């Protein structure tokens, strides 16, 4: 597969028991305005899209949505995944409505992470006016937990994703001109590890640090800087164990083919500035353990 | 008008030269250029030294500025004496100790010891820090002032400083294109309020911040960003209570003629646009 079938992350669907509290975090802390009223979900906008983040029922499965290039990519993705032995089915009209997309292929990787490959996520005519100046400009990437790294890599590679770099066995995958849009983390259980938003710049990452402190939102790691991508980051503890990340910087990689580099799983690979994560097993290094 | 071209060095008294050296190298990341029985010379850029610790009283703190030539130095001494400042001419021994050709010393109106120097010594080999702090050079200082309005007049009328911006009654003053080389901060007595070194990238400020925290160095203010100069900063405390700063991204004032100083209100957001609180660094903020 030469041309990736995917163009960008579309949304994250996160199960919560208390949608109101989760919505308060999205609005008050992240500054995301609500999206359209949606059956069974509370939607929030982080971009021109109707829905970048939605909180769904606690018994539903967390899902990450990625946008397909076009109609042909939908057929090609279905064929490629079926050939590689991954179950996939077309979403019903109701499922498409809940996701604010024209069509979707609902599938899962080997770990069992629900992954939606969607066609034409719906736009909103009004620009995304943030509820506070958090500087969020849209989804950057989704971190996934993986219990079967080679199986999950096969899933993404079937769709044309390319490995940018490794930190230990953490794999960073790109589908467009950015360093990564998906990060696979070896883990004891499947699930979405973190949902990462792009902010305008380092100012907004740092303002979020002090804002989080004032609102008693726990900073899980950062301010830091990823060795692989050069992006500045702040990992925030969201509601019910969900992790939200703010990223700043330019992680565009040129069109030249790159060979994936392997960085050791050490503190300085996960953060060149020296911040340490002790509370998230997937981001712990030997020194942090 | 006394024309200051650049800030040259800081001399600090200390009762414990060994402790000062440990901090200046292992934490701050300066390079030792010379040790004598009573002094320690440290550099942060191409000059032979930009910081000198001298065995003695930590209240003895001196800031030195470079002037262009002997005529400027002579004229400066004359105009300071005409204003009633006691000016002492530097001796040859004193000049050698300071690694300069010649110098004069006087007290500013708040009692800060100031030296004006000629031809500070440069060194061929580039500065290599004791650790990778990414320092690009000694950049500016904060100076205590018992009366910032009076002292602003001294620095801007007797000397050639220009106010770039003000935060309350704190004037940030430049003597070249750099947004500020000197900031006056209200205090009960004279003294150097902080010593700034620039680092290469904005990220280096944060990398140094994590290192300082890991080494249990007291963080005084930051990490933050000044809305006035646009610089990212971290302030921390070294030996004898002296505050040091790393910063990066200081604006330059390119159009000298059209620049008008802005007045920022005296509140924490004027000192940091990220939300850091200045703590004990500045009284009342």
Which pLDDT score is estimated for B284?
67
Is the pTM higher than 0.90? yes
Q: Is the CB of A225 less than 8 angstroms away from the CB of B203?
A: yes
Calculated CA dihedral for residues B142, B143, B144, B147, nearest 10 degrees: -110
Task: Convert the pLDDT of each residue in A141-159 to its tens digit.
Answer: 999 999 999 999 999 999 9
Residue A230 Rama label (left phi>0; alpha psi -120 to 50; beta): left
Superfamily classification of domain B135-271:
2,3-Dihydroxybiphenyl 1,2-Dioxygenase, domain 1 (3.10.180.10)
Q: What letter does residue A69 receive in the DSSP assignment? A: S
Q: Which of B140, B130, B113 is closest to B235 using CA atoms?
A: B140
Q: Is B11 exposed, middle or buried (0-12, 13-18, 19+ CB in 10 A)?
A: buried
Residue-level pLDDT at B119: 98
Q: What pLDDT sits at residue A150?
A: 97
| Per-position pLDDT tens, chain A of length 289 | 457 899 999 999 999 999 999 999 999 999 999 999 999 999 999 999 999 999 999 999 999 999 999 999 999 999 999 999 999 999 999 999 999 999 999 999 999 999 999 999 999 999 999 999 999 999 999 999 999 999 999 999 999 999 999 999 999 999 999 999 999 999 999 999 999 999 999 999 999 999 999 999 999 999 999 999 999 999 999 999 999 999 999 999 987 778 999 999 999 999 999 999 999 999 998 654 4
- With an 8 Å Cβ cutoff, are B207 and A211 in contact? no
Q: For B206, which of A213, A214, A223 is closest by C-beta distance?
A: A223
Nearest chain B residue to A274 by CA distance is B210
Strands (E), chain A: 6-16, 41-44, 53-57, 63-68, 88-90, 101-108, 114-121, 136-146, 162-167, 170-174, 182-186, 191-199, 219-225, 232-237, 243-248, 261-263
Beta strand pairing status for A53-57 and A6-16?
parallel
Chain B interface mutation, best of A274, A275, A277, highest count of B Cβ atoms under 10 Å: A274
Q: What is the pLDDT of residue B279?
A: 77
- How many CA within 13 A on the CB side of residue A53? 34
Q: How far is the alpha carbon of B202 from chain A, nearest alpha carbon, in Å?
A: 9
- d(Cα A154, Cα A173) in Å, to the nearest integer? 12
pLDDT score at A285: 85
Distances (CA, A) of A159 to A62, A106, A153: 20, 14, 10
Q: What CATH number is given for A6-121 in this structure?
A: 3.10.180.10
Return phi, psi of residue B148, to 5°.
-60, -30
* pLDDT > 70: percent of chain A: 98
Going through chain B in order, the beta strands assigned E by DSSP cover 6-14, 31-35, 39-43, 51-55, 61-66, 88-89, 102-107, 113-118, 135-145, 162-167, 170-174, 182-186, 192-199, 219-225, 232-237, 243-248, 262-264
User: Are residues B254 and B208 in contact, defined by beta-carbon separation less than 8 angstroms?
Assistant: no
> How many interchain CB pairs under 8 A, A with B?
42
Up-side HSE of residue A35: CA atoms within 13 Å toward CB?
Answer: 27
Backbone angles phi, psi at A87, to 5 degrees: -70, 140
Q: Which of A210, A232, A274 sits opposite B274 (nearest CB)?
A: A210
Q: What is the pLDDT of residue A288?
A: 44
CATH of the structural domain B6-118, one choice from 3.40.50.12780, 3.90.550.10, 3.10.180.10, 3.40.50.300: 3.10.180.10
Of B203, B214, B275, the CB nearest to A207: B275
Residues forming CATH 3.10.180.10 domain(s) in chain B: 6-118, 135-271
Determine, for residues A206 and B225 on separate chains, whether the beta-carbon distance falls below 8 Å: yes
Fold held by A136-283: 2,3-Dihydroxybiphenyl 1,2-Dioxygenase; domain 1 (3.10.180)
Which residues 208-227 of A are in CB contact (within 8 Å) with B? 209-211, 213-214, 223-225
Candidates A29, A134, A200, A202: best to mutate against B (most CBs of B within 10 A) is A202
Task: Point out the residues of chain B with pLDDT beneath 70.
Answer: 284-285
Would you state the pLDDT for residue A258?
A: 85
Which regions of chain A carry the CATH code 3.10.180.10?
A: 6-121, 136-283
Contact A223, A273 (CB under 8 A): yes
Q: Taking Cα atoms as reference points, which of B158, B215, B174, B166 lies closest to residue B28?
A: B215
């Amino acid at each position: 597969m030469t041309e990736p079938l995917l163009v960008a992350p579309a949304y994250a669907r996160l199960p919560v028991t208390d949608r109101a509290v989760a919505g308060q975090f999205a609005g008050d802390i992240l500054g995301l305005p609500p999206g359209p009223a949606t059956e069974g979900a509370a939607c929030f906008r982080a971009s021109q899209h109707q829905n970048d983040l939605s909180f769904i029922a606690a018994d539903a499965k967390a899902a990450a949505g990625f946008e397909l290039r076009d109609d042909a990519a939908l057929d090609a993705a279905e064929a490629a995944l079926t050939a590689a032995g991954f179950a996939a089915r077309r979403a019903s009209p109701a499922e498409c409505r809940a996701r604010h997309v024209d069509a979707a292929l609902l599938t899962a990787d080997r770990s069992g992470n629900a992954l939606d490959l969607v066609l034409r996520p719906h736009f909103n005519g009004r620009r995304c006016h943030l509820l506070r100046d958090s500087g969020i400009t849209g989804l950057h990437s989704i971190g996934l937990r993986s219990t079967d790294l080679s199986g999950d890599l096969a899933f993404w590679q079937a769709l044309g994703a390319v490995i940018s770099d490794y930190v230990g066995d953490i794999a960073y995958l790109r589908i467009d001109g950015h360093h990564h849009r998906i990060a696979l983390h070896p883990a004891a259980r499947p699930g979405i590890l973190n949902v990462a938003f792009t902010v305008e710049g380092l100012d907004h990452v740092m303002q979020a640090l002090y804002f989080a402190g004032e609102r008693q939102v726990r900073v899980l790691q950062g301010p830091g800087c990823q060795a692989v991508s050069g992006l500045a980051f702040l990992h925030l503890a969201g509601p019910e164990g969900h992790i939200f990340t703010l990223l700043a910087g330019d992680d565009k990689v040129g069109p030249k083919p790159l060979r994936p580099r392997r960085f050791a799983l050490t503190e300085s690979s996960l953060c060149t500035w020296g911040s340490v994560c002790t509370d998230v097993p997937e981001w712990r290094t030997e020194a942090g353990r | 008008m006394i024309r200051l071209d650049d800030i040259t060095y800081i001399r600090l008294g200390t009762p414990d030269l060994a402790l000062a050296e440990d901090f200046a190298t292992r934490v701050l990341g300066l390079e030792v250029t010379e040790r004598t029985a009573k002094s320690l010379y440290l550099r942060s850029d191409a000059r032979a030294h930009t910081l000198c610790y001298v065995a003695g009283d930590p209240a003895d703190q001196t800031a030195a500025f470079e002037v262009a030539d002997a005529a400027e130095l002579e004229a400066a001494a004359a105009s300071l004496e005409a204003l009633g400042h006691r000016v002492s001419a530097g001796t040859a021994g004193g000049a050698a100790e300071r690694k300069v050709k010649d110098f004069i010393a006087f007290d500013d109106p708040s009692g800060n010891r100031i030296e004006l120097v000629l031809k500070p010594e440069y060194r061929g080999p580039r500065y290599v820090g004791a650790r990778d702090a990414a320092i690009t050079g000694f950049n500016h200082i904060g100076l205590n002032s018992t009366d910032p309005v009076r002292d602003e007049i001294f620095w801007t009328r007797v000397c050639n400083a220009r106010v770039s911006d003000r935060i309350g009654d704190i004037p940030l003053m430049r003597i070249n294109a750099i947004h500020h080389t000197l900031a006056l901060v209200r205090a009960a007595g004279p003294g150097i309020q902080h010593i700034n070194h620039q680092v290469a990238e904005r990220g280096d400020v944060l990398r140094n911040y994590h290192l300082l925290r890991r080494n249990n160095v007291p963080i005084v203010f930051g990490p933050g960003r000044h809305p006035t100069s646009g610089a990212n900063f971290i302030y921390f405390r070294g030996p004898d209570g002296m505050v040091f700063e790393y910063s990066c991204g200081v604006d330059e004032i390119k159009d000298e003629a059209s620049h008008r100083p802005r007045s920022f209100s005296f509140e924490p957001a004027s000192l940091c646009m990220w939300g850091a609180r200045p703590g004990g660094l500045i009284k009342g903020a």
